[in-house]
Amino acid sequence: MSLPTPLRHAISLLAGIAALSAGFAPAAASELQVSGFATLGAAYTRSDELEFARVGIDAPGGNRVDTGPDSVLGVQLGWQSAYGSSAVLQVVTRETQRGDYTPRPALAFLSHAISPALTVRAGRLRSPFFMLSDTADINYSQPWVRPPVEVYGLNPFTDMDGVDLLYRSHLGGSFIELHPYFGTSRIPVIGGGRAHLRQLRGLTATLERDELSFSASHAEAELSVIRTSQSYQDLVESLQLPPALQARLSGKGARASFSSLGMQWDDGRWRVIAELARMRADAFVNSATGAYIAIGRRFGALTPYVGLARQRQDQPIADPTLADSPESATTLAAFNRSRNQAQRSITVGTRWDLTPHAAIKAEFSHIDTERGAHGTFIARGDPFAPGLDDRDIHLLSVSVDVVF
């Protein structure tokens, strides 16, 4: 009776597809398409104390060569009627925050074109908080191995359950898309627990003209983060934190917002992608700003690129000066460090288009985590140990991306 929510969604959608297919019967009037995408990736960090992770997306590796952060497989069923209705089911498997590979529907929606310009969609949708959020798994469509973690690490909520509208219009040679959405989103927390966005509402606007495109986006939601990991329980018990401070670390009802401004230039030869994004929250997680610029140049099948990125913390999770003992303050500062992804990086790499459906990429990043931050790294041992911040770390990544 109590099937997991994603499974229930998948089943109801499949039932919907079956019912609709039967209703519109003639094969000429509707069409089922199967497609997919996959990345096999490996990331290598030479550090005995820290391991790379896309915080909130995958689990820390455990091995020095980690296939978890980037490897992903997605299979999509798309069905389209001749009457403006369509359904999409996309099931994605990748390493989860819990370290398993449980498949998850990343898209499971019914859509209907109300008019040539306006489409309404309902179901499981990708969350479009930042410019490339909704293509974060589609590595084939981008020059790099993975979207810059300095920005995309600000948003671990990759999908949402709800409703959206796509309004598309043309204005003097420009293409405009307005994309309002409303829903909820839920993800597990590394180590144990879960995070929720409720009453999520946002708007993304995109303008494309010839080689240039701009996007602007803002979303607000009510955030809850319930931490149940052993290290968190130990922290709370050992510190005997005052309730007010505990309520800053784990609980419900914080206000959160996500904003971004981005641009892309692609003239067929040069490709430039740049974005500035901000995540703010009253409690439970830190508030931070991230930005990146990446420039690539196509030479036939080769596209070498270089990227600069930075994330800065605006507000830590909890103010250590509120603790009632020096020991508590020290541990709270350690907790803040382990949840602070502030870092800067320079990445050089290349993409090689092997066939029309496959690309190989290799990139090298020099990452400089900030003082008071572990960056996008997770401690191999005690997460609250001192001296894991302010490091120079090299990260080597290779991947093969295919679409089919």
Cβ 157 to another protein, closest distance in Å? Answer: 16
Question: What are the Cα distances from residue 306, in Å, to 32, 107, 133, 263, 392?
Answer: 40, 32, 21, 16, 18
Q: Does 294 bind another protein (CB under 8 A)?
A: no
Specify the stretch interacting with another protein by CB under 8 A; choose among 241-249, 283-291, 329-337, 353-361.
353-361
Binding mask 142-171 for another protein (x = CB under 8 A): x-----------------------x-x-x-
Contact 390, 369 (CB under 8 A): yes
Q: Does 356 bind another protein (CB under 8 A)?
A: yes
- Over its C-alpha atoms, the chain yields an Rg (Å, rounded) of 22
How many CB atoms within 10 Å of residue 332? 25
In sequence order, what E strands does 228-369 have? 251-266, 270-281, 287-297, 302-315, 343-355, 358-369
Binding mask 19-58 for another protein (x = CB under 8 A): ---------x--x-x-x-x---------------------
Cβ 79 to another protein, closest distance in Å? Answer: 9
Could you tell me which residues come within 8 angstroms of residue 274 by beta carbon, excluding any fewer than 6 positions away? 262, 263, 264, 291, 292, 293, 294
Q: Does 275 bind another protein (CB under 8 A)?
A: no
Minimal CA–CA distance to 249: which of 334, 149, 158, 157?
Answer: 334
How many CB atoms within 10 Å of residue 101? 14
C-alpha span between 336 and 10 (Å, rounded): 38
Cβ 202 to another protein, closest distance in Å? Answer: 15
The Cα angle at residue 183 between residues 288 and 256, in degrees rounded to 5: 20
Of 15, 65, 83, 325, the residue at the interface with another protein (CB under 8 A) is 83
Of 10, 125, 281, 367, the residue at the interface with another protein (CB under 8 A) is 125
Q: Does 12 bind another protein (CB under 8 A)?
A: no
Which positions touch another protein (CB under 8 A)?
Answer: 28, 31, 33, 35, 37, 74, 76, 78, 80, 82-84, 86, 88, 90, 107, 109, 111, 113, 116-117, 121, 125-126, 134-135, 137-138, 140-142, 166, 168, 170, 175, 210, 266, 268, 298, 353, 356-357, 403
